[in-house]
Amino acid sequence: MSTPDKYNGKFEFLEHTADVYVRAHGKTMEEAYENAAQSMFETITDTDKIVPAQEDSVEVEAEDQYALLYNWLEALLVKSETLDMLYSKFQITSWKETTENFMFKAKIWGEKFNPQKHPQKVAVKAVTYHRMVIIREMDRVILEFILDI
């Protein structure tokens, strides 16, 4: 287990017997979502070794906050697997909440997976709704979720 200090309070890995249990933090919902994405790629490899050389974009939409978090992480996982990319930088550029849905657009940066450069930790098979928690307070947001490995 890594200490939370390494991640500057952005996220931490919690105890879980079989999968990876993450608590991502942010001052805003956008920042918490960006840190959640980084935690997922930190589960896969050392994100310090991923050069943010190629820019891509992602749009996510869902009927509620839980589905939005799930769709965000799942979209990144699918993009990573289909393009053979690893990502290390995430920026949500627009955020929209209505009574019907939630939506945001993000820019992501990374590079092609290189086994000599990117040490493999564990493969993330899927994102789950199990034990997913979203806490929105006045000055911070906490996202908890489990990654199936």
At 147 the three-state DSSP class reads strand
Stretch 11-37: mean pLDDT:
90
pTM for this model (two decimals): 0.90
CATH of the domain at 123: 3.55.10.10
Q: What is the domain extent for residue 104?
A: 4-148
pLDDT digits (tens, 9 = 90+) for 118-145: 999 999 999 999 999 999 999 999 999 9
pLDDT tier, 16 (very low <50, low <70, confident <90, very high otherwise): low
* Pair 147, 19: CB distance under 8 Å: yes
Classify burial at 65, counting beta carbons within 10 Å of its beta carbon; exposed 0-12, middle 13-18, buried 19 or more: middle
Q: Report the alpha-carbon distance of residue 42 to residue 48 in Å, rounded.
A: 9
Q: Whose structure tokens read 């050392």?
A: 46
**pLDDT, the chain, mean:** 93
> How many domains is the chain partitioned into structurally?
1
